[in-house]
Amino acid sequence: MPHVYVSTVIPAPASAVWDRIRDFNALPSWTPFVAESRIEEMQPSDRIGCTRNFTSTDGGRFRERLLGLSDYDMTCTYSILESPMGVENYVSVLSLTPITDGNQTFAEWKADFDCDARRAAELVRSIGNDVFLASFTHLKRQIGGRS
């Protein structure tokens, strides 16, 4: 089972970063690769089990289910239901930890999934760099003013 892990330090308080990313439907506002997003069946975007349906900037359609959301732990867990990536059993966790020295944020994003073994390395690289790291970099520019 391939595993993706990316971490970074965001030069802003964890509470400010969490306020920005907590909304399961907010991807277009803090990632560079989502064109539009909506929560299906008019459910609240923080309801466990809600499904976000979004289109990437390259036209790909994704459906993801919110599996867990903790304001206390500042974590969001979700699964991919449908995507053009060719992954199955995809589960991802995005989490924030306050760094008290400097009032910054340690951000982690990880994912595990199944896929065709011939594509595993490519998918780990693509998800890690083009999704997770690109999103963190974009977020740092927005919130912290630098990357």
pLDDT digits (tens, 9 = 90+) for 41-93: 999 999 999 999 999 999 999 999 999 999 999 999 999 999 999 999 999 99
Q: 69 is written with which tokens?
A: 């959301």
pTM of the model: 0.93
Phi, psi for residue 6 in degrees, rounded to 5: -135, 140
Q: What is the pLDDT of residue 43?
A: 95
User: At residue 145, does pLDDT exceed 50?
Assistant: yes
- Strand duo 61-70 + 104-115: pairing: unpaired
C-alpha 7, offset from chain centre = 12
Fold of 3-144: Alpha-D-Glucose-1,6-Bisphosphate; Chain A, domain 4 (3.30.530)
Q: What is the pLDDT of residue 49?
A: 97
The mean pLDDT of 31-44, rounded to a whole number, is 95
Alpha-carbon torsion 39, 7, 98, 143, what sign? negative
Q: What is the pLDDT of residue 143?
A: 87
Q: What is the pLDDT of residue 4?
A: 98
Q: Listing from the earlier edge strand, what are the strands of the sheet with 3-10?
A: 3-10, 104-115, 87-99, 75-82, 61-70, 51-56, 34-39
Which pLDDT band holds residue 147 (cuts at 50, 70, 90)? very low
Provide the residue ranges of all domains of the chain, joining segments of one domain with +: 3-144
Mean pLDDT of the chain: 95
Q: Are 48 and 71 in contact (CB under 8 A)?
A: no
